[in-house]
């Protein structure tokens, strides 16, 4: 028996992808192309709660119906029963039952018992919000339904299921009888607990909890939780793996690379969890502490597997939605691209104006942003043209990938244009901060001179630095960001000299002011480097990315730290690392493709715009935009408007995702972890 909390959507059409693939792969054997087998639609219950396509209930149908109605009248739990020969399209009992429930718009207190008479498999499906707990669903499946099915008592299984849903309800009509039973149980439990308290306390102390420690979760409860989590995570990985295969067939390797990486990470976590379970199942005796550690490890690893899938769920669904709504999405992205293009001209004018006041070093990060933005718009325009052709040819999968590439390219154009405005604002803020910082530095010089001794020597050096900074701040072409870094270093040096002479409160106030200036400078440097790298990520290597990641982490530490000195050190180091990251990124870009255009460009990527896309295509590569479908490689054509699996235009697949995500407006299932699931249940073979 297995338990499941996901509800994958129904795969209603395989023909398009079958033609695109030119054959089927099953069990590692490549078969020659054959005519596709059209799969059944979900069972339609209509106005009756019973569907029996194989005549399994015989003359006991009315008896089953009476039991179902009795349960509904007593508890509000509506049982639906489906008896078929085999589960097909999909073959999984879990997926077939959940898909049928979703297709019939079943609510929170609607339960579906699906039985494959010849396939010897069954599943009891319930909504995530159902009143019946997971434990009760498992019990009803294994102890009530399965024994009847094993004896081929088809009607008995349905009647027993209905009666079990009645007795499992917390809202049944037993009233005071249940109250007395529960009260007696509570009294018994209290007596047991009181009699064994000292023994439990000793056990807790022996396990390392000690007096006052939080109570440990009982080992049996932990075992059940770990087992359930492991099954659910394994099911989620398998479903996601199937869904990824469908998506790759429709959209290509490039468009699904992130999903593939998420699945690989999740599979590794689940495999590690199975390894822990296997160690518990071997012949080597385990202590309670060993078992507890293993169960906790399984729960942690399966949760991480869910999270790995969840990270890509939104992007996965977005790609699927693009295919489903390709015409409307095409118009939306077209409008966004037009707006993005209109913002490039003002950004270029702003950049030229900034060049009259600031040094080239201050503007280096955005110097080519207008040109890069224009390149992105050109690429987006070409992608949209391809998308229109695909929509006209009812090739929705091709259209989705093209629209996605155009949207990402358009978004980068907006980012590039806005980065100019952002830097202009940040430079103006830096100008103002430097004036205040120099005044503060000159005040420090006065204080240090009054201290005499070694402080006086530091004061003279600082005074010279302050004079140079003041002269630089009024220069025709200035770099307030670089000046800010020098100011922070000089401030830090002189503050170290006079720190011992200051009152504690004054010292804290000055340290906070210096910290805020340092954080502001670091924030500007990190943001500038981030903007530069994001728009050129296709060319930037790991060294620049690592420096920038470290800088961002240090900036976060500086902003949230409680020790001003450590925070200041973190902010100043963040600024240095961000500056180094920007320098390294620029070197990577300059060396990318022989200098990005011109005679040194990589084959097929010239500076001009020929029929192959030229510099615009190279710009897209530089920006890291998905272009596989534009180049025509790495994917087979889907051959039709319908998608496959969870991506299909009118169909919805088994769902790619983790095991515990509840459905939040989604269809039966999708890419992701626990938050994408809509139903749960229990079942197995008999």
Segments making up each domain of the chain, as ranges:
50-168, 182-195+218-423, 509-591
Indicate the pTM of the whole model: 0.40
Rg, the chain, Cα only: 33
pLDDT attached to residue 508: 67
Assess contact for 362 and 478: CB atoms under 8 A: yes
d(CA 615, CA 624): 14
pLDDT attached to residue 557: 93
d(CA 8, CA 679): 9
If DSSP states are collapsed to H, E and C, what string results for 544-562? HHHHHHHHHHHHHHHHHCC
| Token pair belonging to 44 | 């339609």
pLDDT attached to residue 80: 96
d(CA 613, CA 604): 9
The distance from CA 189 to its chain's CA centroid, rounded to whole angstroms, is 44
CA distances from 509 to 504, 513, 660 (A): 9, 6, 49
d(CA 349, CA 355): 10
**Max Cα distance, the chain (Å):** 108
Assess contact for 591 and 583: CB atoms under 8 A: no
Query: Residue 79 pairs with which residues in a beta bridge?
Result: 111
Tens digit of each residue's pLDDT (9 = 90 or more) over 325-380: 788 888 999 999 999 999 999 999 999 999 888 888 889 989 999 999 999 999 99
pLDDT attached to residue 325: 79
Segments of the chain with pLDDT less than 50: 2-40, 170-181, 187, 189, 191-195, 197-212, 504-505, 594-612, 627-655, 659-670, 674-677
| Token pair belonging to 677 | 């699931």
d(CA 236, CA 417): 41
Comparing CA positions, the residue from 582, 498, 485 lying closest to residue 532 is: 582
pLDDT attached to residue 296: 93
CA distances from 657 to 91, 243, 258 (A): 19, 9, 13
The torsion angles phi and psi of 365, rounded to 5 degrees, stand at -65, -25
| Token pair belonging to 373 | 């933005």
What rounded mean pLDDT belongs to the chain? 75
pLDDT attached to residue 573: 94
| HSE value, Cβ hemisphere, 13 Å, CA-based, for 517 | 28
pLDDT attached to residue 571: 92
Assess contact for 551 and 581: CB atoms under 8 A: yes
pLDDT attached to residue 454: 67
What long-range pairs does 301-304 form, CB within 8 A, spacing at least 24?
Answer: 301/269, 301/270, 301/272, 301/273, 301/276, 302/226, 302/229, 302/230, 302/232, 302/233, 302/269, 302/270, 302/273, 302/659, 303/229, 304/269
pLDDT attached to residue 70: 93
Assess contact for 620 and 374: CB atoms under 8 A: no
CB burial class (10 A; 0-12, 13-18, 19+) of residue 119?
middle
Report the chain's terminal Cα–Cα distance, integer Å: 9
Which CATH architecture best describes the domain 50-168? Roll (3.10)
């Amino acid at each position: 028996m297995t338990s499941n909390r996901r509800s994958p959507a129904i795969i209603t059409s395989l023909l398009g992808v079958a033609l695109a693939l030119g054959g089927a792969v099953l069990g590692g054997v490549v078969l020659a192309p054959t005519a596709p087998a059209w799969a059944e639609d979900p069972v339609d219950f209509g106005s009756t709660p019973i569907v029996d396509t194989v005549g399994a209930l015989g003359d006991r149908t009315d008896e089953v119906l009476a039991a179902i109605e009795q349960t509904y009248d007593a508890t509000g739990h509506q049982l639906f029963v489906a008896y078929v020969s085999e589960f097909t399209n999909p073959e999984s009992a879990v997926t077939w039952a959940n898909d049928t429930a979703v297709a019939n718009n079943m609510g929170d207190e609607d339960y579906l018992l699906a039985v494959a008479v010849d396939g010897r498999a069954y599943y009891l499906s319930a909504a995530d919000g159902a009143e019946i707990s997971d434990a009760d669903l498992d019990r009803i499946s294994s102890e009530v339904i399965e024994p009847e099915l094993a004896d081929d008592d088809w009607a008995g299984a349905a009647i027993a299921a209905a009666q079990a849903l009645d007795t499992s309800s917390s809202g049944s009509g037993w009233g005071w009888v249940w109250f007395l039973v529960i009260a007696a149980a509570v009294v018994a439990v209290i007596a047991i607990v009181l009699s064994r308290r000292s023994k439990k306390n000793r056990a807790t102390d022996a396990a390392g909890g000690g007096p006052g420690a939080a109570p440990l979760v009982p080992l049996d409860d932990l075992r059940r939780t770990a087992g359930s989590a492991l099954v659910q995570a394994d099911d989620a990985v398998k479903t996601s793996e199937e869904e990824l295969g469908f998506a790759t067939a429709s959209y290509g390797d490039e468009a699904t690379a992130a999903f593939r990486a998420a699945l690989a990470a999740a599979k590794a976590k689940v495999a590690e969890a199975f390894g822990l379970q296997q160690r518990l199942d071997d012949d080597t005796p385990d202590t309670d502490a060993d078992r507890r550690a293993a169960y906790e490890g399984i729960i942690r690893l399966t949760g991480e597997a869910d999270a790995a899938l969840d990270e890509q769920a939104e992007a996965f669904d977005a790609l699927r939605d693009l295919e489903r709504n390709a015409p409307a999405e095409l118009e939306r992205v077209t409008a966004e691209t037009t707006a993005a293009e209109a913002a490039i001209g003002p950004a270029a004018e702003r950049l030229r104006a900034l060049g009259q006041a600031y040094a080239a070093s201050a503007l280096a990060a955005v110097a080519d942003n207008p040109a890069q933005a224009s390149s992105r718009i050109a690429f987006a325009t070409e992608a949209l043209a391809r998308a229109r052709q695909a929509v006209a040819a009812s090739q929705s999968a091709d259209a989705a990938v093209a629209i996605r590439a155009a949207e990402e390219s358009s978004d980068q154009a907006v980012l590039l244009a806005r980065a100019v405005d952002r830097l202009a604002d940040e430079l103006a803020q830096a100008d103002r901060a430097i004036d205040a910082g120099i005044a503060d530095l000159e005040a420090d010089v006065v204080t240090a001179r009054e201290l005499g001794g070694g402080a006086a020597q530091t004061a003279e050096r600082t005074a010279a630095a302050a004079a140079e900074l003041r002269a630089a701040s009024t220069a025709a072409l200035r770099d307030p960001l670089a000046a800010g870094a020098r100011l922070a270093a000089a401030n830090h040096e002189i503050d170290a000299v006079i720190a011992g002479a200051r009152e504690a409160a004054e010292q804290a106030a000055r340290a906070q002011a210096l910290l805020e200036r340092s954080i502001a400078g670091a924030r500007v440097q990190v943001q500038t480097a981030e903007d530069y790298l994001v728009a050129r990520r296709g060319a930037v290597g790991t060294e620049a990315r690592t420096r920038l990641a470290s800088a961002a982490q240090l900036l976060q530490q500086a902003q949230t730290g409680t020790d001003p000195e450590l925070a200041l050190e973190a902010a100043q180091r963040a600024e240095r690392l961000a500056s180094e990251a920007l320098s390294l990124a620029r070197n990577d870009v300059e060396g990318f493709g022989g200098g990005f255009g011109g005679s040194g460009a990589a084959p097929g990527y010239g500076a001009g715009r020929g029929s192959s896309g030229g510099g615009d295509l190279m710009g897209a590569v530089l920006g890291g935009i998905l272009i596989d479908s534009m180049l025509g490689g790495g994917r087979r054509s889907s051959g039709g408007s319908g998608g496959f699996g969870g991506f299909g235009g009118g169909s919805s697949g088994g769902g790619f995702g983790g095991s515990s995500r509840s459905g939040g407006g989604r269809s039966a299932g999708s890419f992701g972890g626990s938050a994408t699931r809509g139903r749960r249940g229990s079942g197995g073979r008999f």
